[in-house]
């Protein structure tokens, strides 16, 4: 980008030098050739300026998107759900009418909010799936069941 800026400035300097030299040219053909060359230098400088402006606009859009994404990520806090299971949870103060939910820690690290979807419950644990990275997570404490007791006497 800096190189393009210098190229544009050099083209303008060359155009200025050529304009100064025009006043000393008496021959019409030479003057016309110099004018055409000067016009080309001006067009080149305008093109460089246009490209620089386009790049600045693109970078400004990227910065705005990055700030917006950071604000969205800041709405969540990492929470330990036990047994080595972590997820990001929407802060109550940041809910803005949204229901409480959990976001995938893997996706969060990559700069994305992917809301975990409840899959099923088994042995005291809630199972959630991430629709983005396809990870399966277990929340809660595993409750071991005694198969003999539940099989023969479910009311004991």
Give the model confidence (pLDDT) of 28-72 as tens digits. Answer: 777 788 888 889 989 999 999 999 999 999 999 999 999 988 999
Could you count the other beta carbons within 10 Å of the beta carbon of residue 147?
A: 8
For residues 48 and 4, what is the distance between their CA atoms, to the nearest angstrom?
A: 6
Q: Where are the domains of the chain?
A: 2-72, 75-139
pLDDT mean across residues, the chain: 83
Contacts of 144 (CB under 8 A, 6+ apart): 123
How large is the average pLDDT for residues 112-130? 90
For residue 131, what pLDDT is reported? 95
Phi-psi region of 39 (alpha: psi -120 to 50; beta: other; left: phi over 0): alpha
Task: List pLDDT tens digits, range 73-96.
Answer: 999 999 998 878 899 999 999 998
pTM of the complete model: 0.56
Between the CA of residue 46 and those of 7, 30, 39, 50, 152, what are the distances in Å?
11, 24, 11, 6, 87
């Amino acid at each position: 980008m800096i190189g393009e800026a210098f190229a544009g400035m050099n083209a303008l300097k060359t155009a200025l030098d050529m304009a100064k030299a025009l006043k000393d040219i008496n021959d019409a053909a030479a003057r016309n050739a110099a004018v055409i060359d000067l016009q080309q230098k001006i067009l080149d400088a305008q093109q460089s300026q246009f490209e620089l402006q386009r790049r600045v606009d693109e970078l400004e859009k990227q910065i705005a998107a990055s700030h917006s994404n950071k604000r969205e990520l800041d709405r969540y806090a990492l929470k330990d759900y036990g047994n080595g299971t972590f997820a990001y949870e929407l802060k109550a103060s940041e809910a803005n009418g949204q229901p409480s939910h959990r976001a995938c820690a893997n996706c969060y690290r990559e700069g994305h909010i992917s809301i975990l979807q409840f899959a099923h419950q088994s042995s005291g644990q809630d199972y959630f799936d991430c629709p983005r990275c396809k990870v399966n997570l277990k929340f809660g404490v595993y409750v071991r069941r005694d198969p003999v007791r539940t099989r023969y006497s479910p009311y004991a």
